[in-house]
Chain A
Amino acid sequence: MSVLVYTESDKGTFKKTALEVASYAKTVADQMGTTVTAITFNADDTSVLGNYGVDKVLKVNNSQLETFNASGYASAIADAAKNEGTKVIVVSSSADSKYLAPLLAIKLDAGYASNVVEAPSSTSPFTVKRTAFTNKAFNMTAINTDVKIVGVSKNAFGVKENSGSATAEDFSPAIPELGVKVESVDKVTGQVTIADAEIVVSGGRGLKGPENWGMIEELADVLGAATACSKPVSDLGWRPHSEHVGQTGKPVAANLYIAIGISGAIQHLAGINSSKVKVVINTDPEAPFFKAADYGIVGDAFEVVPKLIEKLKEFKAQQ
């Protein structure tokens, strides 16, 4: 009967989204008068999950599942859900969770709602608020199946601490033969990724060329931020596609989004709309981004950004 949450870890350490989905699961469990069970893969120390409302942890340690595998992980989570008699499964909006959730839905005949931004407004009928039209609207969605899967948007619900402790037990589900095998993983190390970043610094065509990205990277470095770019910049090949944010690129749900030399096309604004605080720096006061941002500077990025870096360095030094 407990709410089951898939808490993602990287090399044994829980991601921030794992703590956020655990917090969400705790809220749902309270609404339904039940407990929270988490499922983890190849994570050793799971005690931290107790601080976010998890009562019990099912630890899967399986060499076949050392790297993420959507159908393998979905199969394990489905088994756990059946064992626990789970009615609600909570996952995140990471690339991996979004990959496995539809497979899990089919295994359990469960309805699935992705990009959910709030706790259920009602548990009967089970109704959640999710983003639609690439953040241009919200959609209240009812999940009418016996088992329900909720995909929680990043940085929408927040991490909520809870004094508690989690018991842990080993869980060894049978893993079917896997039809998709990971050959190699190419991950940037030592850099903040757009998916995990609290702050994102983004550059547009106003920067005139890829050679001018040094100051964007420096600003990102001072803030501990990820770098991103607009669609034209990635189409021109100035920056890799993986940095393109917007409707056909990556969504950004950061605490702070700083747009430099980006005019703010509707597709770009849709992609970054879930960010909490937006700052725009642009020479053109008529740029649409000024209507979407919280703070703005009308000015030349090549003058403003170096000054901003300097002031931020002074500020950081005082902290």
Chain B
Amino acid sequence: MKILVCISHVPDTTSKINFTEGDTKFDTTGVQFVINPNDEFGLTRAMWFKEKQGASVDVVNVGGPETEPTLRKALAIGADGAIRVNTAATDGFAVAQQLAKVVQDGGYDLVIAGRESIDYNGGMVPGMLAGLLNANYVTNCISLEVDGTNAKAVREIDGGKETVSTSLPLVIGGQKGLVEESDLRIPNMRGIMMARQKPLKVVEPVDANTETASVKFEKPAPKGAIKLIDPDNVEELVNLLHNEAKVI
């Protein structure tokens, strides 16, 4: 089985979010970038397929050279090779087209992406990729087993979960649950050393069109001051929620 894990290069979850150039660009000053958490759950599941079922695992990112440390981290975790498509990730559709080319050229039969990136939260790349490849698609995936070309997956739905059967070629939108938080791997020194020797291939982009354009960013309006209520007077909270906030 040839697995491709899509890696989005995103600001660390603790980052302060600011914008520059007239609020049109994300301000990367002082921001730490990490593997998108939803992708990391998928990468870790892919390691299981590698170790238990002999799968090969490559990782891919669509982005400039600044994303390479994030790909190296994925190699240090255990991926066999990395591919960077050398173009800015302009919109979800453009990224899906670049990834489709990588999947076709590499003959991958299982693609694991995150259900969404934690920066743009578009949640569309894996689905669009599946649509372009005419592959099966399961998102919000919290469990995945593959046996030959058959796959069994569990998808989180509103208020529960659903078990589905499907087959390769398959695109997965992964999230926490695919593996547990405690299964995530911190690269060790050996992994980091080995990652330096592993191939990181830079490929030039194919012609791709965009469908959407980011016009401007805004930050939420600053929050008003909190109203503190005496712990001995919780009745006041009930009153405020009813009469002032009108939510009960």
Q: Is the CB of A114 within 8 A of B248?
A: no
* Stretch of B102-110, B121-129, B189-197 on the interface side: B121-129
Q: Which residues of chain B have C-beta atoms less than 8 A from A292's C-beta?
A: 223
B:132-168 near A, CB below 8 Å: 132, 136-140, 142, 152, 155-167
Neighbour of B218 across the interface among A137, A193, A308, CB < 8 A: A137
Neighbour of A132 across the interface among B121, B124, B159, CB < 8 A: B121
Judge whether A140 is part of the interface by a CB distance below 8 angstroms. Answer: yes
Q: Is the CB of A188 within 8 A of B17?
A: no
Measured CA separation A137–B19 after assembly (Å) = 10
Q: Which residues of chain B have C-beta atoms less than 8 A from A308's C-beta?
A: 234, 237-238
Neighbour of B176 across the interface among A95, A114, A140, A244, CB < 8 A: A244
Interface string of A95-118 (1 = CB under 8 A from B): 110111111011101111111000
Measured CA separation A256–B248 after assembly (Å) = 8
A:125-154 near B, CB below 8 Å: 127, 129, 131-145
Q: Is the CB of A291 within 8 A of B226?
A: yes
Interface string of B228-248 (1 = CB under 8 A from A): 111100110110111001011
Q: Is the CB of B226 within 8 A of A137?
A: no
Neighbour of B160 across the interface among A105, A112, A188, CB < 8 A: A188
Q: Which residues of chain B have C-beta atoms less than 8 A from A134's C-beta?
A: 118, 121
Measured CA separation A256–B93 after assembly (Å) = 36
Q: Is the CB of A95 within 8 A of B140?
A: yes
- Closest-CB distance, B160 to chain A (whole angstroms): 3
Q: Which residues of chain A have C-beta atoms less than 8 A from B121's C-beta?
A: 114-115, 131-134
Judge whether A296 is part of the interface by a CB distance below 8 angstroms. Answer: yes
Q: Is the CB of A103 within 8 A of B137?
A: yes
Q: Which residues of chain A have C-beta atoms less than 8 A from B175's C-beta?
A: 248
Neighbour of A144 across the interface among B213, B217, B247, CB < 8 A: B213
A:41-83 near B, CB below 8 Å: 67-68, 70-71
Judge whether B130 is part of the interface by a CB distance below 8 angstroms. Answer: yes
Q: Is the CB of A223 within 8 A of B139?
A: no
- Closest-CB distance, A151 to chain B (whole angstroms): 8
Closest to B212 in A: A111
Report, as a range, how many residues of chain A touch the other chain: 35 or more
- Closest-CB distance, B208 to chain A (whole angstroms): 13
Q: Is the CB of A140 within 8 A of B215?
A: yes
Q: Which residues of chain B have C-beta atoms less than 8 A from A205's C-beta?
A: none
Q: A182-B164, A187-B159 are in contact. Are A267 and B231 (CB under 8 A)?
A: no
Q: Is the CB of A296 within 8 A of B227?
A: yes
Closest to A280 in B: B226
Measured CA separation A291–B223 after assembly (Å) = 8
Q: Which residues of chain A have C-beta atoms less than 8 A from B69's C-beta?
A: none
Measured CA separation A307–B236 after assembly (Å) = 12
Closest to B40 in A: A248
Judge whether B92 is part of the interface by a CB distance below 8 angstroms. Answer: yes
Neighbour of B226 across the interface among A132, A138, A294, CB < 8 A: A294
Interface string of B211-225 (1 = CB under 8 A from A): 111111111100110
Q: Is the CB of A277 within 8 A of B132?
A: no
Neighbour of B215 across the interface among A96, A98, A141, A277, CB < 8 A: A141
A:221-248 near B, CB below 8 Å: 223, 231, 235, 241-242, 244, 247-248
Q: Which residues of chain A have C-beta atoms less than 8 A from B228's C-beta?
A: 295-298
Q: A180-B136, A183-B164, A186-B161 are in contact. Are A103 and B131 (CB under 8 A)?
A: yes
Interface string of A301-319 (1 = CB under 8 A from B): 0011001100110010000
Judge whether B37 is part of the interface by a CB distance below 8 angstroms. Answer: yes
Q: Is the CB of B247 within 8 A of A179?
A: no
Judge whether B187 is part of the interface by a CB distance below 8 angstroms. Answer: no
Judge whether A158 is part of the interface by a CB distance below 8 angstroms. Answer: no
Q: Is the CB of B157 within 8 A of A267?
A: no
Q: Which residues of A contact B (CB under 8 A)?
A: 67-68, 70-71, 94-96, 98-103, 105-107, 109-115, 127, 129, 131-145, 179-188, 191, 193, 195-196, 198-199, 223, 231, 235, 241-242, 244, 247-249, 255-256, 265-267, 270, 273, 276-277, 279-280, 290-300, 303-304, 307-308, 311-312, 315
20 A-B pairs in the complex with CB atoms less than 8 angstroms apart: A70-B127, A105-B93, A107-B131, A129-B218, A132-B217, A133-B17, A140-B218, A179-B166, A180-B137, A181-B166, A183-B152, A183-B163, A184-B162, A248-B176, A256-B248, A277-B241, A277-B247, A295-B227, A295-B229, A308-B234
Q: Which residues of B contact A (CB under 8 A)?
A: 11, 13-14, 17, 19, 37-38, 91-93, 118-128, 130-132, 136-140, 142, 152, 155-167, 175-177, 181-182, 210-220, 223-224, 226-231, 234-235, 237-238, 240-242, 245, 247-248
Given contacts A101-B124, A144-B212, 17 further A-B contacts (CB under 8 A): A70-B127, A71-B137, A95-B158, A102-B131, A105-B127, A106-B132, A113-B212, A132-B217, A140-B215, A187-B160, A193-B158, A247-B118, A256-B245, A273-B220, A292-B223, A295-B241, A298-B228
Nearest 9 CB-CB pairings of A with B: A102-B127, A106-B131, A299-B231, A111-B211, A193-B159, A187-B160, A195-B158, A179-B136, A140-B215
